[in-house]
Amino acid sequence: MIAPKERIMDVTFVLFANQGYNSTGINQIISEANVAKASFYQHFKSKEDLCVAFLNARHAYWFSELNDFISDKKDVKSKVLATFDYLVYRNEKENFRGCSFLNILSEIPGDNLKILTVIQDHKKDLRKFFSDFIEDEVLSDHIYMLFESSIIESQMFKSNELIERSKMIITSLIS
């Protein structure tokens, strides 16, 4: 049997993706996870703490998949192109859901530093991810920005077109 905390997290992944953070209530999570209210609060002090746990789990999952996706690539150009192929893969797997971090960012008040910090750390880690294998800082940031904008555009238009165009741009940027 799946432990209550895991059931809560599994349900949270689905509900936050399908309904958003603000439209998902703790009572709905408790009900769909089939846990007692006391069990929920034993693991999470608040919905905000659950959101932080969700984002941390999503961060670990997302980077693990990304690193696996590019692990067989040897040179910089193939690694970078594979990261954009990863976006196409994610869009197909998650039906153009977009970035969980940016989706939640759009729903929280600007002064919610607890959640905002987790979102910022994720984006800093993604930027560092590119700079770890792209030596040119300006090029690395350029590719990071292409990557981020590709996520947003593909979600908005339910299309991988900008991802494919970004790959063409990258081909001209990296020899």
My answer on whether 49 and 61 are in the same domain is yes
CATH number at residue 146: 1.10.357.10
Contact 173, 142 (CB under 8 A): yes
Burial class (CB in 10 A: 0-12, 13-18, 19+), 23: exposed
Q: How many CB atoms lie within 10 A of CB 57?
A: 13
CATH number at residue 34: 1.10.10.60
- The total number of structural domains in the chain stands at 2
pLDDT in tens, 44-100: 999 999 999 999 999 999 999 999 999 999 999 999 999 999 999 999 999 999 999
My answer on whether 38 and 82 are in the same domain is no
Residue 1 has pLDDT above 90, yes or no: no
My answer on whether 92 and 15 are in the same domain is no
Separation CA 138–CA 135 (nearest Å): 9
For the entire predicted model, the pTM comes to: 0.94
Cβ within 8 Å of residue 53, ≥6 positions away: 9, 44
My answer on whether 85 and 57 are in the same domain is yes
pLDDT in tens, 104-134: 999 999 999 999 999 999 999 999 999 999 9
Residue 175: the pLDDT is 82
Residue ranges making up the domain that contains 16: 1-44
Q: What are phi and psi of 147, to 5 degrees?
A: -60, -50
